[in-house]
Amino acid sequence: MSDYSIFMTMIDHIGHDKRGNTIFKRDEKGNVIMMEKEETIAEKDSAGNVVYRKETRQVKGVNDQTILVADIFAKWKKQECIA
């Protein structure tokens, strides 16, 4: 059997602790890092037509590295010449 590559990755933060409490990103001083989140809000005007507007608000950034794995895997597949 010939040698072949296997993809593995380690993540340190999954966005929650063992009790399920959300863990937020923090800076070097321990302050929670805030991030901007844009949402589309649907409202009805006085004529009953649906009107959409964008709203930006500040939210606490969740410390979750799992969302990065798919991109890392895609780069690895490209490097390994796997379709």
In a domain, 72, yes or no: yes
Nearest-angstrom CA–CA distance, 14 and 62 = 9
- Dihedral sign from CA coordinates of 16, 17, 23, 26: negative
**DSSP summary character for residue 27:** -
DSSP state of 26: B
Domain assignment of residue 64, yes or no:
yes
pLDDT digits (tens, 9 = 90+) for 8-59: 999 999 999 999 999 999 999 999 999 999 999 999 999 999 999 999 999 9
The reply to whether 39 falls in a domain is yes
What residues make up the domain containing 69? 34-79
Residue 20 lies in a domain: no
Nearest 5°: the CA angle 28, 33, 36 is: 150
Distance CA 1, CA 58 (A): 54
- Comparison of pLDDT for 72 and 2, the residue scoring more: 72
The pTM (predicted TM-score) of the whole model is 0.63
Number of domains, the chain = 1
